[in-house]
Structures are given as C-alpha cells and as structure tokens.
A and B are shown apart, each in its own frame.
Chain A
C-alpha cells in the first residue's frame, strides 16, 4: 500500500536556526497537509495546500512558517527561525480529493535546543 514518507525522522536544531521538514505524499494525491503534535497533546492542524497554494492555515502557522512543493513530488515545511516551543512531532498528510481520508506519514520529531 502506498505511504506518505517523511524525512528526517528526527531533527535536532539550535534555537534561531532554519529547519526544513520534507514529505513525499502518495503519488496521485492532490491535497497536502501539515499537522503538529506537541508531546502528550492533541494533533493540531497547521496548513493545507492544493493547486500550488495554501488553502487554509491555522493561527499557529505564522510568518515564520512556509510550505512549498518544489518539484511535483516533495512537499516541504520550513520554519525560518526556530523557537523552543516549535519542538514537536510534525506530521504530513495527503489525500486524493479534499473529502477523502487523510493518510499520515510517520512524522518528524523536531527538537529545538
């Protein structure tokens, strides 16, 4: 069964540094999402992306965050200047159409020191 893949599995970064989290959605999917989960808490929506533009973003997704689909297969989340509170598990998800079940990747654990 096709899967959403995310790299790296774990990223450790100094506060203030830029970080890029990478996702390869399932190949025929058109809708892409980023969520985050702070340890022990609920999964929170960050952003949705369709047709090469952001469809929706949460209040968490401020000017420090950006997303890109640089080459037709990768979907990236960039955090420009990381803060301690950005430490979390970041999940990418994709779906064929917006109303179909979202398939999640294994996540990237981001640790900000």
Chain B
C-alpha cells in the first residue's frame, strides 16, 4: 500500500519567516495530495490540495509543489503568523480515494 513519509516532525519558525514541510510517497498511482491543518483537539481541516496534473498551486500565503518523478510534494507557508501554529499533515490517495497520511509536522510560530 501507499507509504507517506513527512519531514520534519517539528518546525519552529520566527513570525514572518517561511515554513517548508516535505513529504514523499511510494505509490506512483497516487494522484491527489491534500494538506490538512489540525489544531489541538480539533478536526483536520483541508488547507490546500494538488492533483498530479499540476506542478504547483498557491492560495495566498500557502503554496504546494509536486514533483511526480521524484514522488515528493511540499507545503510552503510564507509570512508565518502565530495562528499558523498547528500540526500539519500531508496525505496521498490514488483511485481508491482512501487517504494515506504522513506522520505530521508540529509547527510553532514564535512571536
């Protein structure tokens, strides 16, 4: 089955700096890559997603890049703010639509 690896496990950044989280996947059939933000005790919330026919997607301060050849995708958060502090999960799915999640990255934005 699909195996998604996520790095780093924790990330501390100064407010205003950028944060980058990287994920790799194993199944070349995977074609959908969402990113979820989870605050403590809350539901995972979709923040951005990308499909395999696109290399990059941006939504305000958040961007995702996908390299299908290398089977990796990354989340970029620019101009970080304290409210960006949370756990971020990458995920991948193929035609079966089930999401395989990475282990998560705890992002702390220092004021």
Contact = CB atoms under 8 A, between A and B. Distances in A.
B44 A101 contact: no
Interface stretch (B64-72, B74-82, B98-106): B98-106
A99 B43 contact: no
Interface string B76-111: 000000000000010100001111111110000000
A75 interface: no
A43 B36 CA distance: 11
Interface string A31-44: 10101000001111
Contacts of B102: 42
Contact of B97 (A31, A42, A104): A31
A95 B32 CA distance: 14
Interface of A: 31, 33, 35, 41-45, 48, 55-56, 58, 91, 95, 98-99, 101-107
Nearest to A43: B101
B37 to A, nearest CB: 11
B96 A42 contact: no
A105 B49 CA distance: 18
Contacts of A55: 96-97
B29 interface: no
B43 A107 contact: yes
Interface of B: 32, 34, 36, 42-46, 49, 89, 91, 96-104
Contacts of A43: 36, 44, 89, 91, 99, 101
A33 B42 CA distance: 17
The interface centre, meaning the residue of A41, A58, A102 with most chain B CB atoms within 10 A of its CB, is A102
B32 A104 contact: no
Nearest to B51: A99
B93 to A, nearest CB: 8
Contacts of B104: 42
A56 B91 CA distance: 17
